[in-house]
């Protein structure tokens, strides 16, 4: 996902107009560009050989609507946004896995970092997308020297464009230091999440994940994993997680729309669970893979056919 994208001339939506992506442009003094005043979603759609199925279409737009409200922006209705995304996925008919990127943003040309009296806009485009992180080989991760944004500084619960500078600092540092991904601690020194993923640990047979007050994005994949775990009879707990629990965990994995479910091989040079993928991770990753490709009737409602 961080590689430069090839020219993609697929149909996109920008403030009421349908155009090829290459013909969409914004003035350089757009408020959102100057001040990071936007919020967005990343949505995957999976091609199963016959149909493109959008994963958690409505849930993503419900979250976008909540992000926009928190950031005092006006988004189109959830129904309108779903219809726009569906049309993009359908008309582009790429016959491969794709990623949809809707953004609510301050399109005004006003000067000054303020959220009121600046007009809002909405855009959505798509691009082909394979794996964001290598989900097979096991990730080599580090605890970041950058702290997670706190809810009282820039709420991570609202998926704000400007907030991703925090992620970019952590991810860049991790990669430059030879790691695949960074884990943030929050301002209380507790484990929060990855730069673009939520985190799960397994301790003594119990699945543990930082709770919703840990300055995380309330991930849609996180919720899906909690549902799968419950249905598989795996005990789960959402609670504060201390840094060194990462080093004592039997299994650790990261989840998110982009990364899907990726197991962690080592944290800060300490192998996790002997450096092999653990049994609970295996079961959950397998169940998630079946569900997103529409092979589990039980979870068919997660998907919307385009």
Ligand X SMILES: Cc1ncc(COP(=O)(O)O)c(C=O)c1O
Q: Which residues bind ligand X (CB under 6 A)?
A: 42, 167, 193, 196-198, 217, 219-222, 256-258
CB of 43 to ligand X, least distance (A): 8
Active-site option among 106, 107, 159, 171:
159
**Residue number with CB closer to ligand X (109 or 168):** 168
Q: Is 194 or 294 the residue whose CB approaches ligand X more closely?
A: 194
CB contact at 8 A, 207 and 241: no
d(CA 296, CA 302): 10
For tokens 């990462």, the residue is 246
Residue 230 falls in the annotated catalytic set:
no
Read off the DSSP letter of residue 113.
S
CB 204 → ligand X: shortest distance, Å?
25
**Beta bridge partner(s), residue 236:** 207
Measured from the CB atom, is 118 or 139 closer to ligand X? Answer: 139
φ/ψ (deg, to 5) at 278: -85, 165
Q: Judged by CB, which is closer to ligand X: 84, or 259? A: 259
Q: Is 197 left (phi over 0), alpha (psi -120 to 50) or beta?
A: beta
CB 119 within 8 A of CB 7: no
- Taking the complex as a whole, the smallest distance from the CB of residue 94 to ligand X amounts, in Å, to 20
Residue 16, phi-psi category: left (phi > 0), alpha (psi -120 to 50), beta (remainder): left
Q: How far is the CB of 81 from ligand X (least distance, A)?
A: 15
Q: Is 22 helix (H, G, I), strand (E, B) or coil?
A: helix
- Catalytic residue numbers? 159
């Amino acid at each position: 996902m961080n590689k430069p994208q090839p020219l993609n001339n697929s149909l996109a939506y920008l403030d009421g107009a349908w155009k090829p992506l290459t013909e969409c442009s914004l003035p350089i003094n757009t408020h959102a560009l100057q001040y990071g005043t936007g919020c967005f979603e990343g949505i995957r759609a999976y091609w199963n050989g016959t149909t493109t199925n959008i994963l958690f279409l409505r849930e993503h737009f419900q979250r976008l609507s909540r992000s926009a409200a928190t950031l005092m922006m006006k988004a189109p209705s959830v129904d309108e946004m779903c219809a726009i995304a569906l049309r993009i996925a359908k008309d582009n008919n790429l016959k491969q896995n794709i990623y949809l990127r809707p953004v609510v943003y301050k399109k005004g040309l006003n000067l000054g970092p303020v959220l009121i009296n600046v007009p809002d806009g909405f855009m959505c485009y798509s691009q082909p997308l394979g794996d964001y992180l290598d989900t097979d080989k096991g990730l080599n991760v580090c605890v970041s020297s950058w702290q997670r944004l706190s809810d009282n500084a820039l709420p991570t619960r609202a998926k704000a464009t400007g907030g991703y500078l925090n992620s970019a600092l952590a991810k860049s540092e991790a990669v430059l230091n030879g790691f695949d991904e960074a884990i943030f601690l929050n301002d209380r020194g507790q484990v929060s999440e990855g730069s673009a993923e939520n985190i799960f640990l397994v301790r003594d047979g119990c699945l543990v994940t930082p709770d919703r007050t840990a300055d995380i994005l309330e991930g849609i994949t996180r919720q899906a994993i909690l549902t799968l775990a419950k249905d598989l009879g795996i005990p789960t707990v959402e609670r504060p997680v201390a840094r060194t629990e990462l080093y004592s965990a039997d299994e650790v994995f990261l989840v998110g729309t982009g990364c899907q479910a990726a197991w962690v091989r080592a944290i800060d040079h300490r192998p996790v669970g002997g450096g092999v993928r653990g049994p609970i991770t295996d079961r959950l990753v397998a169940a998630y893979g079946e569900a997103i490709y529409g092979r589990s009737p039980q979870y068919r409602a997660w998907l919307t056919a385009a």
